[in-house]
């Protein structure tokens, strides 16, 4: 990215100019008018404010004049961001916000054309997976770093997985590619992207009743896809539970990688 190139900032919080009239800061209104309850701890809010100041955000929320166009896009942004997806974008938010933006890139066939930088207010599954800085420390990388191609995971209900997900408890059969990795019950099945194979799938065995410890150590298998058949269970992707319990689920490596800003090469 050259010094003159534009970094478009997708700030995944409601515009502060659209605050609720409650008067005590207990809620905000998104651009769509819905109330958003404050779920962040104070340290998270502080980190986001630091990022906003470091970007030199003006009071009117427009361009800073320094190459950053700041856009308040709300939590888990959807189609409304499509017109902003060009060049290099910086997603300020959590892993679920990042996944929402990446999903729009996928659906608009822009994964190969748009570079994605990420500034999370604290460590997340995604930042730990790819060794990314957090908070204001992520801004120099967003401006000056170069893109690395990292694997992207998809699922069979039209979503993506950027950092990590899990299903649990599981009682059924699980295959990673052609290898059966579970026949029976497990406490949890965790999935994350893997550079070498596409997915890393960990089976966490059931706990001893009343002891709170595992009967065996978790086992991890690498592959391109994982297929799960189980009694109805909870599915969580990047910290967000799926809308209903599921008996079948598939994660698989997408054919095209994500162009992630990771460092200087």
- Round to whole Å and give the CA distance between 246 and 234: 7
Residues 6+ apart with CB under 8 A from 232: 245, 246, 247
From-to residues of CATH 3.40.50 in the chain: 7-144
User: Helix (H, G, I), strand (E, B), or coil: what is residue 178?
Assistant: coil
Tell me, what DSSP letter sits at residue 18? G
pLDDT tens-digit series, residues 119-158 = 999 999 999 999 999 999 999 999 999 999 999 999 999 9
- As a whole number of angstroms, the distance between CA 164 and CA 156 comes to 16
CA torsion, points 27, 30, 35, 36, in degrees to nearest 10? -60
* H helix intervals, the chain: 42-54, 95-107, 125-130, 138-144
Domain 7-144, what fold? Rossmann fold (3.40.50)
Going residue by residue through the chain (265 aa), what tens digit of pLDDT does each one get? 544 458 999 999 887 766 543 333 333 333 333 323 344 445 566 677 777 777 776 545 444 444 467 899 999 999 999 999 999 999 999 999 999 999 999 999 999 999 999 999 999 999 999 999 999 999 999 999 999 999 999 999 999 999 999 999 999 999 999 999 999 999 999 999 999 999 999 999 876 555 555 456 889 999 999 999 999 999 999 999 999 999 999 999 999 999 999 976 4
> Looking at the DSSP assignment, which residues form a beta bridge with residue 88?
7, 115
Task: Provide the β-strand partners of residue 90.
Answer: 9, 117
CB-based contacts of 47, cutoff 8 Å, min separation 6? 121, 122, 134, 135, 136
Question: How far is the CA of 244 from the CAs of 78, 108, 203, 232, in angstroms?
Answer: 21, 27, 22, 9
SS3 124: coil
Beta strands in the chain (DSSP E): 7-11, 28-29, 35-36, 68-72, 88-92, 115-119, 146-150, 153-155, 160-161, 165-168, 170-176, 179-186, 188-194, 198-204, 219-223, 225-237, 240-241, 246-253, 258-263
Which residues make up the CATH 2.60.200.40 domain(s) of the chain? Answer: 160-253
The domain made up of 160-253 has a fold known as: Tumour Suppressor Smad4 (2.60.200)
């Amino acid at each position: 990215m050259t010094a003159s190139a534009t970094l478009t900032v997708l700030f995944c919080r409601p515009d502060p100019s659209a605050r609720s009239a409650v008067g005590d800061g207990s809620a905000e209104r998104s651009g769509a008018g819905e109330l958003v309850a404050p779920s962040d701890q104070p340290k998270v809010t502080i980190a986001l404010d630091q990022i906003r100041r470091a970007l030199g955000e003006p009071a009117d929320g427009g361009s800073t004049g320094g190459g950053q166009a700041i856009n308040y896009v709300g939590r888990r942004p959807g189609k409304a961001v499509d017109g902003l997806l060009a060049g290099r974008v910086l997603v300020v938010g959590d892993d679920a916000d990042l996944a929402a933006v990446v999903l729009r890139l996928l659906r608009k066939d822009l994964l190969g054309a748009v570079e994605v930088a990420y500034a999370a207010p604290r460590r997340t599954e995604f930042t730990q997976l790819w060794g990314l800085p957090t908070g204001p420390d992520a801004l120099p990388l967003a401006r000056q770093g170069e893109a690395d191609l990292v694997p992207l995971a998809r699922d069979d209900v039209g979503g993506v997985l950027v950092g990590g997900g899990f299903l649990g408890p599981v009682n059924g059969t699980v295959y990673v590619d052609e290898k059966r990795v579970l026949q029976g019950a497990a406490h949890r099945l965790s999935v994350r992207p893997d550079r070498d194979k596409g997915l890393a799938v960990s089976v966490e065995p059931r706990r001893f009743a009343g002891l709170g410890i595992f009967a065996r150590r978790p086992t991890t298998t690498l592959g391109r896809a994982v297929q799960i058949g189980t009694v109805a269970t909870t599915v969580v992707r990047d910290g967000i539970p799926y809308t209903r319990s599921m008996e079948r689920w598939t994660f698989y490596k997408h054919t095209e990688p994500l162009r992630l800003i990771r460092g200087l090469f």
